[in-house]
Amino acid sequence: MSLTPDSSAPAARKIRSFVRREGRITQAQKHALQVLWPKYGLEADRPLDPGQVFGRKAPLTLEIGFGNGAALARMAADDPATDFIGIEVHRPGVGRLLLELERAGIGNVRVYCEDAVQVMQHCLPPACLDRLLLFFPDPWHKKRHHKRRILQPGFIESAASLLRPGGILHMATDWEDYAVQMLEVTQGSASFRNCAGTGNYASRPDYRPVTRFEQRGLQLGHGVRDLLFERT
């Protein structure tokens, strides 16, 4: 099963949903990546055993593309009975999250600094997730770049394989045309049921924090749409 948005493309030219931009990384973030990674980091060269990693059997949530980690840290702090895995390719955001986890004493989060496609395909065991979160993924707003959007039929197939029956796929975006694509692609899968009813968006659940990024978008008049789908 492939998560590559264009499954007909040659393997050597795999289309990615991200571009690695290192950006400005602080000395504190660099230090966190060196010193705290052994405590919180996960490597993508081996299968994941959640029970072994967290030392317990608990509900498991995966967030893909956690950005600076503010929402992930908040959700984990608010729900200590749940274990969380975050995936982010940009090292400054990973470093920032590691610092916050250590500062706040949050022990129920582990992190991949890797392509989500690789982690989903090669690391996570089937039906291991209770929730899969995809908040504000890169909209690749130019039409010629839409093929780079992570939300494609292959992604939905992979999400279905990782979620337990009754598990929740929760997406959010402030780009209207991307919200429409999310709705159409996910409703086109027999593996998911729209929790808000066919053709409808959901209200923001209390567990999803409103981030500063989202607040800026709201101030600019960007409508935010949440989509919740149950694994059938």
Summarize pLDDT for 69-124 with one digit per residue, the tens: 999 999 999 999 999 999 999 999 999 999 999 999 999 999 999 999 999 999 99
Q: Enumerate the active-site residues.
A: 138
Angle at 227 between CA 232 and CA 81, to 5 degrees: 70
pTM: 0.88
Confidence label for 10 from pLDDT (cuts 50, 70 and 90): very low
Check residue 222 and give its pLDDT. Answer: 82
6 is a domain residue: no
Where in the sequence is the domain holding 148, given as residue range(s)? 22-231
Check residue 42 and give its pLDDT. Answer: 98
- Burial (CB count <10 Å: 0-12, 13-18, 19+), residue 34: exposed
Q: pLDDT tens for residues 140-155?
A: 566 664 676 999 999 9
Confidence label for 158 from pLDDT (cuts 50, 70 and 90): very high
Check residue 7 and give its pLDDT. Answer: 40
User: 56 or 215: which carries more pLDDT confidence?
Assistant: 56
9 is a domain residue: no
Count: domains in the chain: 1
13 is a domain residue: no
Task: Transcribe the chain into DSSP letters.
Answer: ----SSTTS-GGGPPPS---------HHHHHHHHHTHHHHEE-TTS---HHHHHTS---EEEEE--TTSHHHHHHHHH-TTSEEEEE-S-HHHHHHHHHHHHHHT--SEEEE-S-HHHHHHHTSPTT-EEEEEEES-----SGGGGGG-S-SHHHHHHHHHHEEEEEEEEEEES-HHHHHHHHHHHHT-TTEEETT-TT-PBPPPTTS---HHHHHHHHTTPPPEEEEEEE-
Check residue 142 and give its pLDDT. Answer: 64
8 is a domain residue: no
The CATH number of residue 49's host domain is 3.40.50.150
Q: Quick check: 2 and 133 in contact, CB under 8 A?
A: no
Check residue 40 and give its pLDDT. Answer: 98
201 is a domain residue: yes
98 is a domain residue: yes
Neighbouring CB atoms inside 10 A of 226's CB total 18
Average pLDDT score, the chain: 89
184 is a domain residue: yes
Q: pLDDT tens for residues 123-140?
A: 999 999 999 999 999 885
**Mean predicted confidence (pLDDT) in 176-199:** 97
**Mean predicted confidence (pLDDT) in 41-69:** 97
Confidence label for 12 from pLDDT (cuts 50, 70 and 90): very low
Check residue 167 and give its pLDDT. Answer: 98
12 is a domain residue: no
Residue 109 backbone phi and psi in degrees, to 5: -130, 135
Task: Return the percentage of the chain with pLDDT > 90, whole number.
Answer: 78
Confidence label for 5 from pLDDT (cuts 50, 70 and 90): very low
